[in-house]
Each structure stands twice: as C-alpha cells, then as structure tokens.
Structure 1
C-alpha cells in the first residue's frame, strides 16, 4: 500500500519505494523533546522510519 501524496527521500527506510514514495500503512511524526507543538519542520521526526 502506498500512501498517496506522501513523499519520502530516505532511501534506506524499509518503507521507501521507487519514485520517493512511502509504502507504510500509517505514519507517525513526533515533535523533538516530547512537546506537542512545533514551529518548524526541523523540530519534528518521523518515527515510522525503520532501516532496510
């Protein structure tokens, strides 16, 4: 299953698919430091990542 509209450039993730697509069934994104508010994208992390 590919998540429509989700671009991923992390080619060493097991969910990465040709064409920079994500084939995970869901995505979990968290804020650095455990907060629930981010002010910029570099304050967030994708916790769906799993190495190939």
Structure 2
C-alpha cells in the first residue's frame, strides 16, 4: 500500500496541501467496461468538490 497518496486537484475537499490526499480511502474506476491501459482511462470517484 502507498503510504502517501499525491493529488494535484486542489478543488477537492480531500486535498490536504503539498499535493497530498487526505481521504481515508481512494476509489478509482475504469472509464469504460474494458480494462484501463493508462491513467487517462480512469476516474477518481473519491473526488468531492470544495
């Protein structure tokens, strides 16, 4: 498991400064029904707008 999760989306309520994510859990899904081949094919469901 990653000790620190980095994120540059500072419009999220979980953004904790220094590009850190403060969420207790992270939920990321595929954008389509196929297996993702790169990060552009995924979405972070943990995101909540500030």
Residue of structure 2 in register with 1:48 after alignment: 46
Relative to the length of structure 1, the TM-score reads: 0.84
Relative to the length of structure 2, the TM-score reads: 0.87
Query: Structure 1: where are the runs of 5+ without partners?
Result: none
- After superposing on structure 2, the runs of 4+ consecutive aligned residues of structure 1 that deviate more than 4 Å are none
Query: Structure 2: where are the runs of 5+ without partners?
Result: none
Q: Quick check: which one's strand share is greater?
A: 1
Please report the RMSD computed on the Cα atoms of aligned residues, expressed in angstroms: 1.5
Q: Quick check: which one's helix share is greater?
A: 1
- Secondary structure of the structure 1 residue equivalent to 2:29: strand
Cα gap change, 1:36 to 1:27, in 2 (>3 Å): farther
Q: Residues 1-52 of structure 1: CA distance to partner in whole angstroms, max 9, x if unpaired?
A: xx7321000001000011010010100000002x251011100000000001
